Amino acid sequence: MPRIAQTADELREFIAAAEMAWFDVFDSADDGQVIEENGGEYYRLPLKFSTKAKVIAYFRRYWGADMSSRMFCNLQTVTRNNRLYVIAGDTGTVHFFPLSVAVTGQTATRIRLTAVLAYEENTPEESIRVRYLIAKSGEKLTILNRDHKNEDVRYQDCAQVSVRSRRGIRPLLHKKRIHKPKRSAAARTGRKMRTAYK
């Protein structure tokens, strides 16, 4: 978990890193290591994310236990030969880049914060407002909750993961191999989510 942020810029950087955490895992999968399961393709995660415990531990740098569990189940993983694989598919447009943050309430142990999130750095007209509940413990911050969860493929209720026709990652359900684009440095600072799958 990161140290307590002292300024608006530090809080914005904290929210940016937290919102990127799911994509740090999802986009790290190797499209050269593919398996098929139930008609869909899955890509192997690297060793640093090779088990559920490792992925959850990474999410817990920023997120509480409940949110980390949600994020893990929304990766739609399978295990093969003691390695973790994530589904190959299209996340659609996701608002993850914080344009601004504002503290709306604070106690000795909690911060309430509202962030304006966009899917690109320069698209304020297409942004949404997201409220966060953040725990403070010593010099650490942990996001306990955020709203708009069920409108975002990363944070949906795990009960919805098996009903992806409602909203979620659209899996690749065909035999043809499709290249999975890697996120560029520019993408990490606010470019559009990977939507190249057709």
pLDDT one-digit tens code per residue, 8-51: 889 999 999 999 999 999 999 998 999 998 888 999 999 999 99
Q: Checking DSSP bridges between strand 40-44 and strand 83-87, what pairing results, if any?
A: antiparallel
- Cα dihedral across residues 145, 149, 152, 157: positive or negative: positive
pTM of the model: 0.80
pLDDT for the residue 129: 96
pLDDT for the residue 89: 86
pLDDT one-digit tens code per residue, 52-70: 999 999 999 999 999 999 9
Choosing among 3.40.1010.20, 3.40.50.300, 3.10.450.420, 1.20.1250.20, the CATH entry for 8-93+155-188 is: 3.10.450.420
Closest CA to 27 of 189, 190, 188: 188
Q: At what angle do helices 52-59 and 65-73 cross, to 10 degrees?
A: 130
Q: Which stretch of DSSP H or E encloses residue 71?
A: helix 65-73
Could you tell me the residue ranges of all domains in the chain?
Answer: 8-93+155-188, 97-151
CA-based Rg of the chain, rounded to a whole angstrom? 17
Provide DSSP, 48-68.
GGSSHHHHHHHHTTTB-HHHH
pLDDT one-digit tens code per residue, 103-134: 999 999 999 999 999 988 777 778 999 999 99
Residue pair 92/193 in contact by the 8 Å Cβ criterion: yes
In which residue are the tokens 């065909």 written?
174
pLDDT for the residue 3: 58
Helix (H, G, I), strand (E, B) or coil at 28: coil
